[in-house]
A and B are shown apart, each in its own frame.
Chain A
Amino acid sequence: MSSIAQKKGFGATLWDYLTTVDHKKIAILYLITGGFFFIVGGIEAMLIRIQLLKPDNDFVAAGLYNEIITMHGTTMIFLAAMPLLFGFMNAAVPLQIGARDVAFPFLNSLGFWMFFFGGIFLNLSWFLGGAPDAGWTSYASLAISSPGHGIDFYALGLQISGGGTLIAGINFLVTIINMRAPGMTYMRMPLFTWSTFVVSALILFAFPPLTVGLFLMIFDRMFGANFFDHTMGGNTIIWEHLFWIFGHPEVYILILPAFGIFSEIFSTFSRKRLFGYSAMVFATVLIGFLGFMVWAHHMFTTGLGATANAIFAVATMAIAVPTGVKIFNWLLTMWGGSITFTTPMLYAVGFIPSFVAGGVTGIMQASAPLDYQLHDSYFIVAHFHYVIVGGVVLGLLAGLHYYWPLMFNTMLNEKLGKITFWLFFLGFHLTFFIQHFLGLLGMPRRVFTYGADQGWDLFNAISSYGAIFMAAGVIVLIVNIVMTIAKNVPVGRDPWGDGRTLEWAIPQPVPFYNFKQIPLVRGLDTYWIEKQEGNTEGMTFAEPIGDIHMPNNSIIPFIMSLGLFVGAFGALYNGEQPWAIPVLGLGLIITFAAMATRSLKDDLGYHIHKEDLLNEKGGKH
Chain B
Amino acid sequence: MDLNTKYTPHSWPDHPESATLEGKNKFLGFWLFLGGETVLFASLFATYLALKNRGPSGMEFTTQELFELPLVFIMTMLLLTSSLTSVYAMYHLKNFNFKAMQAWLVVTVLLGAAFLGFEIYEFYHYVHLGFTYNQSAFSSAFFTLVGTHGLHVLIGLGWITLLMLRNSKRGFNLYNAPKFYVASLYWHFIDVVWVFIFTVVYLMGVIG
Contact = CB atoms under 8 A, between A and B. Distances in A.
Chain A interface main SS type = helix
Given A170-B36, A242-B43, A602 B175 contact: yes
A395 to B, nearest CB: 26
Interface in B34-84: 35-37, 39-40, 43-44, 46-47, 50-51, 54-56, 59
Contacts of A233: 51, 54-56, 59, 136-138
Nearest to A246: B43
Contacts of A241: 46
A205 B54 contact: no
Interface in B6-60: 21, 24-25, 28-29, 32-33, 35-37, 39-40, 43-44, 46-47, 50-51, 54-56, 59
Contacts of A219: 140, 144
Interface in A47-79: none
Interface in A572-621: 596, 599-600, 602, 604
Contact of B144 (A207, A216, A600): A216
B129 interface: no
Contacts of B44: 212
B54 A234 contact: yes
Contact of B36 (A204, A245, A596): A204
B144 A103 contact: no
B3 interface: yes
B199 interface: no
B116 interface: no
Contacts of A215: 144
A334 B139 CA distance: 60
Interface string B131-154: 001101111110010000000000
Interface string B115-129: 000000000000000
Given A166-B36, A233-B55, A234-B54, A227 B175 contact: no
A223 B144 CA distance: 12
B1 interface: yes
A542 interface: no
B141 A209 contact: no
Interface residues of A, number: 43
Given A103-B25, A227-B140, A600-B166, A209 B51 contact: no
B204 interface: no
Interface stretch (A140-148, A171-179, A478-486): A171-179
Interface in A194-236: 204-205, 207-209, 211-213, 215-216, 219-220, 223-227, 229, 231-235
Contacts of B54: 233-235
Contacts of B166: 599-600
B110 interface: no
Nearest to B138: A233
Contacts of B55: 226, 232-233
B195 interface: no
A235 B162 contact: no
Contacts of B32: 170, 173-174, 204
B111 to A, nearest CB: 23
A219 B148 CA distance: 13
Contacts, number: 114
B133 A103 contact: no
Contacts of B141: 227
A599 B162 contact: yes
A205 B133 contact: no
Contacts of A223: 133-134
A23 to B, nearest CB: 14
B128 to A, nearest CB: 19
A238 interface: yes
Contacts of A209: 39-40, 43
B138 to A, nearest CB: 6
A242 to B, nearest CB: 6
A104 B2 CA distance: 19
Nearest to A210: B43
B136 A226 contact: yes
A225 to B, nearest CB: 4
A178 B22 CA distance: 10
A501 B145 CA distance: 47
Contacts of A178: 21, 24-25, 28
A209 B44 CA distance: 8
Contacts of B35: 204-205
B134 A225 contact: yes
Contacts of A229: 137
B108 to A, nearest CB: 19
Nearest to B173: A602
B43 A174 contact: no
Contacts of B51: 227, 233-235, 238
A213 B162 CA distance: 32
Contacts of B1: 549, 604
Interface in A140-159: none
A174 B47 contact: no
B47 A211 contact: no
Interface string A274-310: 0000000000000000000000000000000000000
Contacts of B133: 223-225
Interface centre among B2, B24, B137 (most CB of A within 10 A): B137
Which of A166, A227, A231, A596 has the most C-beta atoms of chain B within 10 angstroms of its own C-beta? A227
A407 to B, nearest CB: 25
Contacts of B29: 103-104, 170-171, 173-174
Contacts of A213: 43
13 contacts: A178-B24, A179-B21, A179-B25, A207-B36, A209-B39, A212-B40, A213-B43, A215-B144, A219-B140, A223-B133, A225-B144, A227-B51, A234-B51
List the 3 shortest-distance A-B pairs measured between CB atoms, nearest first: A233-B54, A233-B137, A208-B40
Interface of A: 103-104, 166, 170-171, 173-174, 177-179, 204-205, 207-209, 211-213, 215-216, 219-220, 223-227, 229, 231-235, 238, 241-242, 245, 549, 596, 599-600, 602, 604
Given A174-B25, A233-B136, A238-B47, 7 more contacts: A208-B36, A223-B134, A225-B140, A225-B144, A227-B141, A233-B51, A602-B175
